[in-house]
Structure 1
Amino acid sequence: MSPAEDRQRPDDAPRLWTPSFWAAVVAMFGVSMVFITTMTYMALYAVERFGVQDAVAGFAASSFILGAALVRIISGKYLDFIGRKRLLLIALIVFLACCLVYPLTWDFTSLVGLRLLHGMAFGGAGTALTASVVDLVPRARRSEGVGYFGAASTISTALGPLAAVQLSGMFGADAVFWFISGASVLALGAVLLGRFPERTPTPEEHARRFRLSLSDVLDPDALPPALVLLLAASGYAGVVTFLNTALLERGMVTAASLFFVAYAAGMLLVRLFAGRIQDTRGDNTVMLPLFALFILSLVMLAVAEHTWVVLAAGVLGGIGFGGITPALQVIGVTRARPERLGIATSTHYMMLDLGVAIGPVVFGLLIPLVGYTGMYLALAVTGTLSVVLYWLVHGRAASPGHRPS
């Protein structure tokens, strides 16, 4: 059965939960579990094993993101030349190998080098897997499908840090590395079992395959919603980076950990229903309320003096940003031409990575001037600007109603 046949019922009604879609969801869960577990644990591992300072140890975590970003620059262009499943298999084999090699690193430099390679494998696998899913699900249920697909990574966001803390505390570092190796095997096995849509590049694409222009890195049709995501993601990064110290300053020691549990719960909740609403009632029906909730959560964090306010902000922020990210992704790939789906996908992720990278730097400069309250209010202003940008680049021209099949 071909991938096209696999995603249709015999009566031609659009079917979402096919074996191949299940395989993609399981693969995303495994890959995301490795990502979030190592991001949580790697700085501590660098300090404990190699004795580096905390500021330097953070690069053991962030170098993974750098590796992913480097690969995404070219993976969109060459995705269909390599083949989606072939790239997935190559990337996941390297991904698994990196998990197994962590205990063999001999100094901090080798650890950072391995993290770069691991991130590159993650970037290649993520681009190929997401592009495959966008083509795999019926167009009429695209937002719903991408939302469910993203829920797999949301679940790992809650479980990964817990696994890192418990396994390292009870059994040591090797247990963490065996755990992520198992998650990598799960992802690789799922991809081996799945059938993923492929696209044959045109003769014109073959003729210019060795040329790399700006349009081969960033898709002009997908870029406007991706720029909206860049603004929103910078606000999200400010929350993640500074929340612990902000709440500690206010004497709310336990509130930060509870916030992220609430955040993950809100994110999982929205990804289970928002996509279906976007497909049936149009982009603006979900995007505008999601932005409003995200901005409200930032304002609540700016003034929070009680734990329940922090928890409420976590739920609202998870619903807001957790829904905005896949919704903008669907908007971007739907605006793009079918033959540029891979580039549109990498455009989305590059802007997401850029927002997460620059947000802490830009807004961190405000803290000595306006404090954490002022910084979170500035994040809320940035969220408001992202709504304005969304309306200008897409919202005012968005068509209401059911997404065509």
Structure 2
Amino acid sequence: MNNTNEKLFNKGFIAITFINFIVYLVYYLLMVIIAVIAQSNLHASLGQAGLASGIYIIGTLLARLLIGKKLELIGRKATLRYGALFYLLTTIAYLYVPVIPVLYLVRFLNGFGYGALSTATNTIVTAYIPKARHGEGINYYGLSTSLAAAIGPFLGLILLNTTDFHFIVAFSIVLVLIITIMCYLFPVKNVKLSEEHIKALNKSSFDSFIEKKALFIAFMAFLMGLSYSSVLAFLSSYVKVIDLVQVSSLFFVVYALVITFTRPLSGKIFDNLGEKFVMYPSYLFLSAGLILLSMTTSSWLLLISGGVIGLGYGTFMSNGQAVSLKTVKDEHRISVALSTYFIGLDLGLGIGPYVLGELRTFLSFQNIYLVASILPIICMVLYKIYTSKKAVKAAL
């Protein structure tokens, strides 16, 4: 694919964006229901149910480390196709989970498949975005991830209340089967590697697994993911305490609507004015949204907080990805840079429920959200210090 083509919405871009949407939709759909299923169907304890959710992230992180390093060596085409096939087989495996240890194994392997496939899609899409429109293109592409993060939990909770686990798994299998077929039909060009590049990627050094230039934005992603995990982990319990269960499902609908309408604008701002004009607002909005959520006593305030959180976390997710792309110049390092960024994001989302859950033993939900709101402010301060130092170095 010629990256100089100025047409953003080409067939390749649309297809890989749709594939990515389904990958993340199934991930979030199963994430919100698996703990409940573990407790009700397998009689797991609360701790065992939590591990069933968290072990998925371990598989994902392992895949991002290994596939991020080896993707260009294996080839983008093979990684996409075999990743999709493995994601499909491990989704089918949910149909047979008679005991909790088997569920752990299936969740771990399914997490690995998700990590491998999403690393491939996140890398491949860059070949279909014109360089001059990277910010805009990544924002449109990132919309698929953000919408999945909103629609997945919403759909999962509805299906959980109206159907059973086997129907949900069957529904997920059909979705993954569709994108698996698409992955085998999708035209992917592998990056041509020089002998020097092959040697560098084959080394078992820190640089071969992690892109050092993307470490800072990955750390910001970790803190932002940690902060947002308070919403994913505790919203369903929190709305019961404040008696807003009936309207709570609309929280993610408002979240999705806000990011849908604001994402194109934030991408253009990124390209035309610079990253700081979207990064600073993302930190402020997430912090403000969590503060509003901690103060919520009415339906309208709950929904407003959902919109403001969408402006914060939803904006950060895709623009952070665009920032990580800016850190590398060599095409063969794109997969490593993106893998580094998403490792930070996934790690924050993965350990957040446990870390913040420990605080729940002596803090109210309201205070947990206040604690979570401090993290984006820390990000903003660190981001200011980091960018100021970079500006000084560039001026010398």
1:166 Cα deviation after fit: 4.5
Q: Which moved more, 1:163-172 or 1:104-113?
A: 163-172
Q: Which moved more, 1:330-339 or 1:52-61?
A: 52-61
Give the match for residue 362 of structure 1.
355
Q: Unaligned 5+ residue runs, structure 1?
A: 9-13, 399-405
Write the letter of the residue equivalent to 1:199: V
**How many angstroms apart in 1 are the aligned matches of 2:241 and 2:162?**
31
1:45-95 CA-to-partner distances (Å, cap 9, x unmatched) read 333332222331232232222111111112111110000111010010111
> Are the equivalent residues in 2 in contact too, given 1:67–1:118 (CA < 8 A)?
yes
Which of residues 165, 170, 174 in structure 2 aligns to 1:182? 174
Give the match for residue 394 of structure 2.
none
- 1:254 aligned onto 2:267: no
Which of residues 1, 4, 15 in structure 1 aligns to 2:7? 15
Write the letter of the residue equivalent to 1:394: T
**How many angstroms apart in 1 are the aligned matches of 2:297 and 2:163?**
38
> Are the equivalent residues in 2 in contact too, given 1:144–1:279 (CA < 8 A)?
yes
1:212-267 CA-to-partner distances (Å, cap 9, x unmatched) read 22222221111111111111211111232233333433343435433233223223
Q: Are residues 370 and 179 of structure 1, via their aligned partners in 2, closer, same or farther at CA, if it must alter by over 3 Å? A: closer
**How many angstroms apart in 1 are the aligned matches of 2:245 and 2:300?**
13
Write the letter of the residue equivalent to 1:356: L
- Taking structure 1 as the reference length, what is the TM-score of the superposition? 0.89
1:197 Cα deviation after fit: 4.1
1:201 Cα deviation after fit: 2.7
**How many angstroms apart in 1 are the aligned matches of 2:304 and 2:387?**
30
- 1:281 aligned onto 2:281: no
Give the match for residue 212 of structure 2.
220
1:325-372 CA-to-partner distances (Å, cap 9, x unmatched) read 111111111112323111101101110012113333333444444533
1:12-46 CA-to-partner distances (Å, cap 9, x unmatched) read xx111111111101111221222122112222333
Give the match for residue 299 of structure 1.
291
Give the match for residue 371 of structure 1.
364
Which of residues 374, 386, 399 in structure 1 aligns to 2:379? 386
Which of residues 248, 260, 268 in structure 2 aligns to 1:268? 260
Q: Which moved more, 1:55-64 or 1:157-166?
A: 157-166
Give the match for residue 403 of structure 1.
none
Q: Which moved more, 1:39-48 or 1:18-27?
A: 39-48
Write the letter of the residue equivalent to 2:56: F
Secondary structure, aligned partner of 1:16: coil
1:169 Cα deviation after fit: 5.0
Q: Unaligned 5+ residue runs, structure 2?
A: 392-396
**How many angstroms apart in 2 are the aligned matches of 1:72 and 1:201?**
20
Give the match for residue 202 of structure 1.
194
- 1:50 aligned onto 2:48: no
Q: Are residues 303 and 40 of structure 1, via their aligned partners in 2, closer, same or farther at CA, if it must alter by over 3 Å? A: closer
> Are the equivalent residues in 1 in contact too, given 2:10–2:128 (CA < 8 A)?
no
1:114 Cα deviation after fit: 1.4
Aligned pairs for 1:4-403 (under 5 A) are 4=2, 8=5, 14-167=6-159, 169-338=161-330, 339-394=332-387, 397=390
> Are the equivalent residues in 1 in contact too, given 2:16–2:121 (CA < 8 A)?
yes
1:395 Cα deviation after fit: 6.5
Secondary structure, aligned partner of 2:2: helix
Q: Are residues 360 and 36 of structure 1, via their aligned partners in 2, closer, same or farther at CA, if it must alter by over 3 Å? A: closer
Write the letter of the residue equivalent to 1:384: I
Q: Are residues 364 and 62 of structure 1, via their aligned partners in 2, closer, same or farther at CA, if it must alter by over 3 Å? A: closer
**How many angstroms apart in 1 are the aligned matches of 2:187 and 2:267?**
23
**How many angstroms apart in 2 are the aligned matches of 1:257 and 1:317?**
15
> Are the equivalent residues in 2 in contact too, given 1:130–1:345 (CA < 8 A)?
yes
**How many angstroms apart in 1 are the aligned matches of 2:193 and 2:282?**
37
Alignment size in residue pairs = 391
Write the letter of the residue equivalent to 2:364: G
**How many angstroms apart in 1 are the aligned matches of 2:174 and 2:377?**
42
**How many angstroms apart in 2 are the aligned matches of 1:175 and 1:160?**
15
Q: Are residues 133 and 35 of structure 1, via their aligned partners in 2, closer, same or farther at CA, if it must alter by over 3 Å? A: same
1:323 Cα deviation after fit: 0.4
**How many angstroms apart in 2 are the aligned matches of 1:233 and 1:165?**
22
> Are the equivalent residues in 2 in contact too, given 1:38–1:61 (CA < 8 A)?
no
Write the letter of the residue equivalent to 1:388: V
Write the letter of the residue equivalent to 1:274: S
Q: Which moved more, 1:175-184 or 1:114-123?
A: 175-184
**How many angstroms apart in 2 are the aligned matches of 1:267 and 1:307?**
20
Secondary structure, aligned partner of 1:394: helix
Percent of aligned pairs sharing the same letter: 26
Write the letter of the residue equivalent to 1:308: W
> Are the equivalent residues in 2 in contact too, given 1:19–1:194 (CA < 8 A)?
no
